[in-house]
Amino acid sequence: MQAAAGSGAVLFLLYVLFFFNNDHLPNRVRSSIGNPPPPTAANATLDFGAILYISMPFRTDRQDALSLMAAASGLKLTMIEGVDGDTISHKAEPDGLPEKMRGSRLGCWRAHANAWRYVIDNNLGSALILEDDVDWDMNIREVMGLWNWQLKYNNTIRWGQDVKKGWSEECPYGCDWDELFMGQCANKPNDERLDLHQTYYDPNGPKLEDNLDTFKKEITQVWNMTQPDQMRITSPTFKPLCLQGYSLSHRGAMRMLYHNGGYLGLAAPIDLEIAWRTAEGKLSGYTLTPPAISAWRVGGGKDSDNDPVTDKEEIKASGNSGGKSFGLKKSVRKNLEALLGKNYWEEMKKKN
């Protein structure tokens, strides 16, 4: 683990030196009076008030994996229990709930709503919310620290030419967002405002070929990137799909709960409701492409808690050793064996 952390620190230091001696930093920033501080690795909660992950109480297998992943990459996680939708009283259902939304879809909404309430009730400035079937890069703290820097010190989407206006803000990732998406499974930007985006080099970013097809298409056909390897795009959130990883500010959590079933009604799966509210302008923020958080798939019934299958034969999967994720340069899950695996007796043979 120390070796992995050390290599990540060296790589990040090289990037800082590279960044401040090359053209990736706009002239308007470099030539202004004073300079912003260099990018630094994020803290154990990725510079948010907390990292919350949603997991059904019986998915101890996923909880074990997340404990290992967090320890390997230096993160601190807090669990929010998933909810069985069939246990929710009809009196507590959101207004206008259609019959098709009962069961697992309702439980999924309630679990995310409980995470939003956690942010509100604990007066957190922000939180990252994860689902429990995810993967991230071993150097996730560097990845997110760099995005934090981009949104605070080089946010041309918000400030246009005068990015200096944001330098004095104390909020991580800037002070203007309700939501940040860095764990979507697909992303539809606003076709009418494709001018609102910016790109930057990330030494921990994936090659284009390692991304899901949906992100390959977005990178090359929407953003027209000609040198896409290890480049990331920030754009205003419009219609993200899936909730594998997203962040909310305190006010964002309040807006999310208000608009999506906690006070007003709910008519569709929660990721669609969030996309619709965002496209309507009732929620706003930024989306990172390719995302820093990826889904982890092992195949079979283990991949979904919405699947009622309980037969042992039907649940069979490839297991974590055969699992896969996309869009990560150095998957933390795939590096657990290198970090934790050993054979004492074979090592002793080599020594003696």
Please report the domains of the chain, with CATH numbers, ordered by start residue: 2-295 (3.90.550)
Lowest-confidence pick of 187-196, 263-272, 296-305, 336-345: 296-305
Instruction: Give 161-186 pLDDT, tens digit per residue.
Output: 899 999 999 999 999 999 999 999 99
* 333: three-class secondary structure by DSSP: coil
- Measured CA to CA in angstroms, residue 16 lies from 11, 13, 62, 177, 269 at distances of 9, 5, 35, 26, 41
Q: What percent of the chain has pLDDT over 90?
A: 81
Closest CA to 212 of 185, 234, 232: 185
Closest CA to 297 of 134, 139, 112, 131: 134
C-beta separation of 287 from 240 below 8 A: yes
Instruction: Give 120-154 pLDDT, tens digit per residue.
Output: 999 999 999 999 999 999 999 999 999 999 999 99
Say how many C-beta atoms besides its own lie within 10 A of residue 86's C-beta: 10
Helices (H) and strands (E) in the chain, counts: 12, 12
How far apart CA 135 and CA 62 sit, in angstroms, is 11
